[in-house]
Chains A and B, each alone.
Chain A
Amino acid sequence: MSRPELGGETLMAYVDGGLDVETARAVEEAAARDESVAARIAALKHTRDESKKALAPLLAEPVPDELVAKVRAFAARHQTSSPPETPAAAGLDTDNDAERGSVVPFAPRVRSPRWAGSGLGMGLAASLALVVGLGGGFFAAGGADRFGKRVETPQFDQPGLLEALYGGLSGEERTLPGGERYRAIATFAVDGGTLCREFEVDGTDANTVVAVACHDDGAWRTRFTVASRATGEGYAPASSLDVLQAYLSAVGAGDPLDLPAETKALNALR
């Protein structure tokens, strides 16, 4: 009679209840025959039991009334039965198309599990404060940087930002000439292959802007911005990231490029 290989993962699957009846029986027979197998099973079971005992009681903790109240209040305020008709109505400005009167088709198909979340897609709350096109007052208007190009967008006009977008790798932080803190979050491709970068800029006035710029037609253009923690405006950070997620879903953002891929992609642009 052949005995199946009883590797560590098989024993683990046995303990966690993931084996078919036949293999489970084989494991039990092996345990009955062999002390060491029985001991390994016991050890695996012990870890599982200890983990469960340690944390399972959290289930019995009463849920704070405030939390329940907030969830119910949110549900009451946002009786969304149908999604907004167009991305423009939802407040997404994809490369100024909304201003020109055409609407970029919404791509609800989500590429990356990393950003898939629940597939937020069209379900944007009307109450989310999306700030697109911050206007000239937010950052000092800058001249052409040393590459001779400008970040061609009405939303952003920022000395040093272009250099950061071309050069700095994700994960790095730097201070821009105007004193703002810039943080590169991720580089990725979107549907159609355009290279984009997600970054954050902490303004000198305590605003934080999360933005996505894409390199199209030889230049970086900011495609999406949202302000968070703007003083006195009441934007919720979690909500602004929700909107970012929706945008990333809409454009089919792929997984963030790892270091070698990112370096290669950015080098190819220079």
Chain B
Amino acid sequence: MSDPFLEDLVALLPRLRRFAISLARSRDVADELVQATCERALMSRAQFQPGTRLDAWTMRILRNLWIDRMRHPTARETFVDVEDAYYLVGEDGEARNEARLKLAEAAKAIGELPDQQREVLLLVCVEEYSYREAADILSVPIGTVMSRLARARAALDEMLE
């Protein structure tokens, strides 16, 4: 007998993973984060109101786990082979062409934003949440979302000039 909550969670894995990779700038760390997120989501499933947005609910868990991870740096920085760099997306032989390189540059620049700016940019521009939804996920007022987003865009524009 299948568990709809579990199945919905598994269906969210690609989205959670994308957010986690972009936050953590490492696929290994991202996969740990996503696993921890799913475990916590399963353990606190009673707190989830069926019919509400499971994706936003789990994104919130993921983001909070990321914050906690930053507070307790138990993992040391591991050297990442440049071929495995998180920002090289979709390497399928096309890695060298100009357009791909520009995108990798943009991804890398996003990775270099301060965490508070990066997470807002990711939620609004990549995950396409509304300002309100992003504010709920981050537990901040909408005004804060907007001002951090404006700063993120300004910083990004400068990096990519």
- A residues within 8 Å of B by Cβ? 8-9, 12-13, 16-18, 43-44, 47-48, 50-61, 63-64, 67-68, 70-72, 74-75, 78, 80, 83, 113-114, 116-125, 185-186, 200, 208, 210, 228-229, 237-238, 241-242, 245
Contacts and interface: CB of A to CB of B under 8 A. Distances in A.
B126 A114 contact: no
B131 A13 contact: yes
Contacts of B39: 71, 74, 125, 238, 242
Contact of B60 (A58, A118, A121, A229): A118
Contacts of A75: 3, 6, 42
A238 B150 contact: no
B89 A54 contact: yes
A72 B21 CA distance: 21
Contacts of A124: 43
A39 to B, nearest CB: 13
Contacts of A55: 18, 22, 89, 107, 110, 122, 126
Interface residues of B, number: 63
Question: Which label, helix, strand, loop or mixed, suits the secondary structure of the A interface?
Answer: helix
A118 B14 contact: no
A8 B57 CA distance: 30
B59 to A, nearest CB: 11
A44 B153 contact: yes
Interface in B18-54: 18, 21-22, 31-32, 34-36, 38-48
A80 B48 CA distance: 14
Interface string B82-106: 0000010110000000000001101
A228 B18 CA distance: 28
B146 A56 contact: no
Contact of A9 (B74, B128, B150): B150
A119 B146 CA distance: 26
Nearest to B41: A118
> Interface centre among A12, A55, A228, A238, by most B CB within 10 Å?
A55
Contacts of B71: 185-186
B19 to A, nearest CB: 9
Contact of B43 (A44, A80, A113): A80
Contacts of B104: 54
B22 A58 contact: yes
